[in-house]
Amino acid sequence: MFNTCLSLFVAFSMHVGLSGDYNQVHPHARCNMDDFMFGTYYNSEHRVSTYVGKTLGPIDHNWTLEYGLVTGYKSYDVVPLLRYTNDGWFVAPAYEIGNNYGVVIGWEYKF
């Protein structure tokens, strides 16, 4: 039997407090190995991002914290990754060039 760490997802997101025209559908491939994760997804800026990070938790009421580094955004070559997740739902801070801050709220379906 073939064993792999690969998981495939599609996420749907809402960008709250931001003024840009953002992609809301995000195909996503991830590999989890113990508490470490790495993967790639189609980001909110219509670009491909890759990331590496760790999962911490559960923290409270089965919510986990994902943190790491991600590429593929216009603002900087590498930016911090931070997501609070539970049962497919996620919340993440967001930043737009020009010092505009918001939050991304979404749901991710695992195939």
Residue with tokens 């190995």: 33
Window from 6-15, 54-63, 67-76 with minimum mean pLDDT: 54-63
Residue 110: partners with Cβ closer than 8 Å, 6 or more residues away: 7, 8, 9, 88
Give tens-digit pLDDT for 17-58: 998 899 999 999 999 998 999 999 999 999 999 999 999 988
The pLDDT of residue 63 is 92
- At 17, is the secondary structure helix, strand, or coil? coil
The yes-or-no verdict on residue 3 having pLDDT over 80 is no
Q: Which two tokens stand for residue 33?
A: 């190995």
Residue 78 in contact with residue 70, Cβ under 8 Å? yes
Residue 36: partners with Cβ closer than 8 Å, 6 or more residues away: 52, 53, 54, 55
**95, 66, 96, 98: which is closest to 81 by C-alpha?**
66
The pLDDT of residue 99 is 81
- Is pTM beyond 0.85 here? yes
The C-alpha torsion from 19 through 23 and 28 to 34, rounded to 10°, is 10
Measure the CA–CA gap between 4 and 9, rounded to whole angstroms: 15
Give tens-digit pLDDT for 64-102: 999 999 999 988 899 999 999 999 999 999 988 888 899
Q: What are phi and psi of 91, to 5 degrees?
A: -135, 135
